Structure 1
């Protein structure tokens, strides 16, 4: 049994006897994606940062496509981290796929978190009857094909489109570097699990005050998805921040810091 500190490269910083705030990263990034935001909480909070298995400096031996074939395996990892670090009533901040991982964890283990903050989260990326997810199946099939055929060319295009901050090219370059650091087969496996997932039926089960943060334009998660989440999660409020792209915590950290602080 591997401990979560090694498995998920857990970092504990800030005011160690303060209340806990946890930051969880999305696909293709690692805990460093939160560096510009988490610094604002170090004086008052015990801050927990970690890398999802398959990304960052998580244990490369821990990933297996058979185990991580749904978000449930990541939920188990987050439960282990919260257990190992004696987390109770924490503020849970999850970006993108970690938004859904946080939500599923909160439903299973309500004592861990007092509030949730979901940044650019989506319960389903595929369009459906009476549901706009943003993608058709052929869009996703084309994306998986491109990842499989020329991963590094895919990274270059996807990182710029997802970051959507052409005036700050270093942001897309940083995202590209973290994508390039992931083994292409792992990236493809994780992308399939995320983009083909559907957790809409779980949303009404969440019974925690929840802030939904959405950028003005996001190639991965349209505003319709954020509005859908807001309708389905009883205690949620939606805030559209003055930011563009799927990574507002990287491109407009002050916006995210203000939203989080106002909410908590």
Structure 2
């Protein structure tokens, strides 16, 4: 089975458009992009896929050892890009997948034209002058709750993550996505996510990048987005008028406008290696 088949790849948009690959975050699948795909697909060849164990990905894609760290997900993406033979592509990573696409760009810059990092966080734990947004006790409690009762965790966390309490349908959509995810897979991905520290990887990435930050985000605070921008050479930063960690759900027009504005301009010089 090819990597494309294993990861449930769907491609939309003009065949001659610049490839744009959308990578979803923890507890989600490619359906998280449904509100933005049409706008991106006007001029881009949009590639949707599911990470190991998520959505329609083949069950064999998930390996507890391989996917105990984010490097395993980056390896998957490299294999997928090689299989699709897209040429250099724009990689759009949401949440933890922002780190995954950064790892891909570090390993295989020849596969990457630009990066778009939506709500990135290279380190979720507060650490010696760095604000990641979570204390060690909070991360321990989050992981313990997820381990003991995944469904209860999903019901409680999804509305908090998506924000916008005046729009409960958004929280319900994210909850449904979490509930579709195999609990074993979600637990492993959550540990790989919340225990990671990829701050040092930022200096090794040398492709043009856009950091997209929501003005209010309980998972990746504004300080984190600015940290990524300040430590990622050749990056641009945009603070969008959106609340929550999932602007592709809560503010799709705002997100697509920011991304398309960036992609419509020159990428700028590649920083020296």
Band of TM-score, shorter chain: over 0.9
Could you list the per-position Cα deviations for residues 103-127 of structure 1 after superposition, in whole angstroms to 9, with x for gaps in the alignment? 1101111111111110001101011
For the aligned residue pairs, the C-alpha RMSD in angstroms reads 1.1
Aligned residues: 263
Match of 2:2 in 1: 3
Residue in structure 1 matched with residue 62 of structure 2 by the alignment: 63
- The C-alpha deviation readout for 1:188-220, integer Å capped at 9, x for no partner, is 111011000011111011111111001111111
Cα shift at 1:60 = 1.6
2: CA distance, partners of 1:150 / 1:26: 20
Counterpart CA distance in 1 for 2:243 and 2:169 is 15
Aligned to 2:271: none
Shift of residue 89, structure 1, vs aligned partner: 2.3
Secondary structure at the residue paired with 1:27?
Answer: coil
Gaps of 5+ in 1: none
- Detail structure 1 runs of 4+ shifted over 3 Å in the superposition: none
**1:140-187 deviations in Å (ceiling 9; x for gaps):** 111111112222111111001001011211111111111111122221
TM-score (norm 2): 0.94
Is 1:236 the counterpart of 2:235? The answer is yes
Query: Does residue 226 of structure 1 match 2:252?
Result: no
- Partner of 1:37 in structure 2? 36
Partners of 1:186 and 1:102 in 2: how far apart? Answer: 20
Correspondence for 2:114: 115
Distance 1:43 1:249 in 2: 17
1:172 match: 171
Deviations 1:18-54 (A, max 9, x none): 2211111111111111111121122222111101112
Counterpart in 2 of 1:204?
A: 203
Q: Does 1:261 align with 2:260?
A: yes
Please list every run of 5 or more consecutive structure 2 residues that lacks an aligned counterpart in the other structure. 264-273
1:123 partner SS = coil
Q: Structure 1-normalised TM-score?
A: 0.97
Q: Does 1:54 align with 2:64?
A: no
Correspondences of 1:238-253 after superposition (within 5 Å): 238-253=237-252
